[in-house]
Amino acid sequence: MFRWIDHTAELELEIEAPTEAAVFADALAAFAELAGDGDGVPLDEEIRVLAPDRPLRLVAWLEELIYLVETEGFVPERIESLELDGDVLHARVSGRAGSPSHLVKAVTLHRLELGPDESGTWRGRVVLDV
């Protein structure tokens, strides 16, 4: 489950999910909502990201999606598979070719969080420069 909190000039994404992997799936769904629909041919991407800590892995994941839309016109739609193995995230994502008119510029470290709360629910927060 995700929700957007709209600040003056940037967007904050808040995620609440039962597992860590589900946080990444929700982050992709949120990004796909921002990017809008791809209207071209179906595409598949293998994504692998590595980061020194959990919150930075969420940043690296979203940065990878920004990179793919900007350089390859890949608009993500859904996760086909996602594995977390130590510091590495490995995923297969399907989507479509497209050229969204409105881009996410970058993923900031401002108010960045990712981890389980006392009840075991995973909570993620990340602020995007748009």
Applying CB under 8 A, which residues contact another protein? 4, 6-11, 52, 56, 59, 63, 66-67, 69-71, 73, 99-103, 105-112, 127, 129-130
* 38-54 core/surface letters (b: 16 or more CB in 10 A; e: else): beeeebebebebebeeb
Nearest Cα residue to 124 out of 32, 29, 9: 29
Nearer to another protein, 22 or 108 (CB): 108
| Nearest distance, CB of residue 102 and another protein, angstroms | 5
Q: From the CB of 21, what's the least distance to another protein, in Å?
A: 23
Q: Which element (helix H / strand E) includes 124?
A: strand 122-129
Q: At closest approach, how far in Å is the CB of 119 from another protein?
A: 25
Question: Strand 122-129 to strand 10-17: parallel, antiparallel, or no bridges (unpaired)?
Answer: antiparallel
Q: Which is nearer to another protein, 80 or 111 (CB)?
A: 111
